[in-house]
Amino acid sequence: MRLFIKFSVLASISLVLGIVVFIWTLDINQYKPVLIQAVNKLTGRELYIEGDLKLIPSFSPVITAQGVSFSNAPWSSSGVNMLTVGHIEAKASLLPLFSGLIHINQFILHDTRISLETNSDGIGNWVLDTDTDDIATVSSNSNAAATQLPPITIDAINISNADIQYINGVTGTVNRLAINELSTAITDLTAPVTFSVAASYGAFPIELNGTLGPVNTLLADMSYPLDINGRISVFNVQVTGKVEKPLSVEGIDINIAANADTLSDLNQFAGTELPQIAPVALSGNMKFSDLRDIDIEALKVKVGKSDLSGQINYQVTDTLPFITMQLQSELIDVTPFSKETEGKNKPDYLFSRVPLPSGALSLVNLQMSLVAKQMKTRTSEFSNVKIDLSLQDSDVQAVIGSGVAGGTLSGDFSLDTRTDLPPAFNIELTGSGIQLEQLPHDKQKPWFTGGPIDLKVNGSGQGNSMAEFMGGFNGKLLVEVGEAGMPNSNVDLFGADVFMSIFNKLNPFSKSDKTSLLECAVLNFDIRDGITKIDRQIAMQTTKLSMVGSGEINFKTEQLNLGIKPYAREGIGMSLGSITGVAKIGGTLAHPRAEVDAKGVIKAGVTTGAAIATGGLSLLAQGLFNKTTDDPNPCKTALGQSTAAQAQAQPDTGTSTPVENKKGLLDNVKGGFKKLFGN
């Protein structure tokens, strides 16, 4: 027994001495040319190792190398090397070395630079141009160099201070990913690989962990499974699926789910202040055979109460990227995004002077279809909304249809930015059966009952902003309102409360009657080069009172110069001209200003000088009075349908009225407008 123990001790000592001698005498650098030759033969690329392969002796020997690089594809624009590593360290297991095996417990890469790039055909520089016969030769050990290279297995990989650059050769975009720490765990080549990574993409932090497919599956470029979760910037993300050809990044089929705590967390992406809305969630299935044709199916987006679903396709064409979108929604509520203006200073202009981002239209082609059951804004609600939008080579075409306030709204829009001239805009918009009583209003104030509205807008303009569009607009605006119960108090009507205020101040029945029965109302504007000249194309008629308006609206400057005159209708016990008062509406579209002459200086027969002193109100009233007191149908006149309106539109035949009388009437009207409006 003692002899056995002695022999055992001697054997152990001999083994230890043998290990020490083996480690100290092993020339690991002898494998350097073998490794380089094998990699070059297998990949068709050059592998460089500047320093010697070194072995640090211990019971867990450490193999190190400095200045390792792997050459790039010959067509690459990112430099001669696709991969460079400042320092490589491999911690090996000791015992497998006696069997001629290299078993790496931990593989460490420090100061790594990786440049990934696709060419104009979408082919990546990581796709190796190799001969399959060469690969088979190396794999079967028939190559002499390969037979000298011992089998290598790796349990874990750790990467620190790595920079990955990706150049899209199709779009020209460049993206960079900085990896602070990346670690993997590998039990064997046939087992799944677990990993964790801490990185940053620009200013956005990334923390991910998950499970990937086996190493041998990756090397064989076979279907490769993914299961990843973690956080990218403000998003919690989960990705599951597979890549059919991982080495060439082809045949991707993955499910993506992401959510953020609140929408305001995305301020850094949006470049603006977003409201605090929750939840914020996105999910979908992404498929693409290569980076030139990407499908997103089963898309679901949830932002607060709003939702969106559908599918998106992205294709890289010979000209511009082409995006196709088919989207549906139960509710799109943009109310939280509308800034509350109550109690704040209103803008100086109704139409924005901010230049339109028309340059962005040249970056992509788009075909979008959106169907939403309900859409909400701060001022309006729409139902059964349908929008078809086409963007083709900087030319935008849109068709909309919607239900609104019990009626319908439909139209066609186009925006052409294909020339060096300012963008050209065209509009055809029709509204039918829109109910005045269902339009947004202050619930605390009296409001209309009934009131069907029909409207038509058509025309075109050109400019770099909405203000320029309207300043050069040519077209027509027609609004017709049917019977409605109208409260005799100040109410808001699409911001036109100044008209209603004037009506109530000039209406002698407003104190005795709580309501007026509106029979009709008309706005009929013919706009030329941003200016509309109005001759009784503003009209409103109740059962007791009518009101007509003339003047000018300048959409270039947004200046208002309008005269409003009420008069009593026949059959109510008052003469046509017995209602005194006249009003002028000045100011701008954003800030209208009313001047009301409720005393009716027209009845006093004032002189021209006095009329000028009162701002032209009485002279304007005289012109309007002469033209309206004999008109029983002001709404038809506004539409150009009455006998009076048609007669005025006809050439003067000289058969019905003496020429001198006609001339006096016209001169009176023209003179009044010239002194009031300065033209």
Q: What angle do CA 177, 75, 317 make, to 5 degrees?
A: 75
Residue 311 CA to residue 115 CA, distance in Å, equals 32
- pLDDT recorded at residue 51: 86
DSSP 4: H
- Cβ atoms within 10 Å, residue 394: 19
Residue 469 CA to residue 476 CA, distance in Å, equals 14
Cis peptide before 279 (omega within 30 of 0): yes
Residue 640 CA to residue 476 CA, distance in Å, equals 14
Cα 88–chain centre separation: 46
List the structure tokens of 441: 């209003």
DSSP 620: H
- φ, ψ at 339 (rounded to 5°): -75, 135
Residue 15 CA to residue 27 CA, distance in Å, equals 20
- pLDDT recorded at residue 389: 95
Cα–Cα separations (whole angstroms), residue 168 to 70, 82, 249, 553: 20, 15, 14, 52
Say what the alpha-carbon torsion angle 340, 346, 350, 355 is, to the nearest 10 degrees: -80
- E-strand ranges in 377-423 read 381-392, 395-404, 407-416
CB-based contacts of 359: which residues, under 8 Å, 6+ apart? none
- Cβ atoms within 10 Å, residue 268: 10
- pLDDT recorded at residue 582: 74
Using alpha carbons, select from 181, 206, 188, 205 the residue that is nearest to residue 151. 188
Q: What angle do CA 415, 417, 421 make, to 5 degrees?
A: 120
Using alpha carbons, select from 595, 597, 602 the residue that is nearest to residue 577. 602
Residue 158 CA to residue 89 CA, distance in Å, equals 10
| Enclosing H/E stretch for 506 | helix 497-506
Residue 552 CA to residue 535 CA, distance in Å, equals 9
List the structure tokens of 478: 């027609």
- pLDDT recorded at residue 366: 94
Q: What is the DSSP string of 34-99?
A: HHHHHHHHHHSS-EEE-S--EEE-SSS-EEEEEEEEEEPPTT-SS-SEEEEEEEEEEEE-SGGGGG
Q: Round the average pLDDT of the chain to a whole number and report it.
A: 79
List the structure tokens of 27: 């020339």
Using alpha carbons, select from 256, 280, 257, 283 the residue that is nearest to residue 267. 280
Residue 586 CA to residue 502 CA, distance in Å, equals 12
The answer to whether the beta carbons of residues 71 and 128 sit under 8 Å apart is no
What are the tens digits of pLDDT across the range 445-503?
778 899 999 999 999 999 999 999 999 999 999 999 999 988 876 544 444 456 666 66
Residue 465 CA to residue 356 CA, distance in Å, equals 5
- pLDDT recorded at residue 420: 84
Residue 259 CA to residue 268 CA, distance in Å, equals 16
Using alpha carbons, select from 420, 421, 430, 483 the residue that is nearest to residue 455. 430
Cα 311–chain centre separation: 16
Residue 88 CA to residue 108 CA, distance in Å, equals 6
- pLDDT recorded at residue 597: 56
Using alpha carbons, select from 511, 581, 579, 582 the residue that is nearest to residue 545. 579
- Count how many Cα atoms sit within 13 Å of the Cα of residue 79 in the half-sphere of its side chain: 12
DSSP 190: T
- pLDDT recorded at residue 104: 80
- pLDDT recorded at residue 576: 46
- φ, ψ at 564 (rounded to 5°): -125, 130
Using alpha carbons, select from 28, 219, 215 the residue that is nearest to residue 139. 219
What are the tens digits of pLDDT across the range 111-156?
999 998 988 887 888 887 654 444 444 444 434 444 444 666 778 8
List the structure tokens of 169: 């050769």
The answer to whether the beta carbons of residues 241 and 263 sit under 8 Å apart is no
Q: What is the CA radius of gyration of the chain?
A: 40
- pLDDT recorded at residue 608: 35
Give every residue of the chain whose pLDDT is below 70, as ranges. Answer: 1-27, 97-100, 129-152, 339-345, 489-511, 570-581, 595-630, 642-679
The answer to whether the beta carbons of residues 568 and 581 sit under 8 Å apart is no
Our separate counts of H helices and E strands in the chain read 13, 33
- pLDDT recorded at residue 8: 44
Q: What is the maximal distance between C-alpha atoms in the chain? A: 151
DSSP lists the bridge partners of residue 12 as none
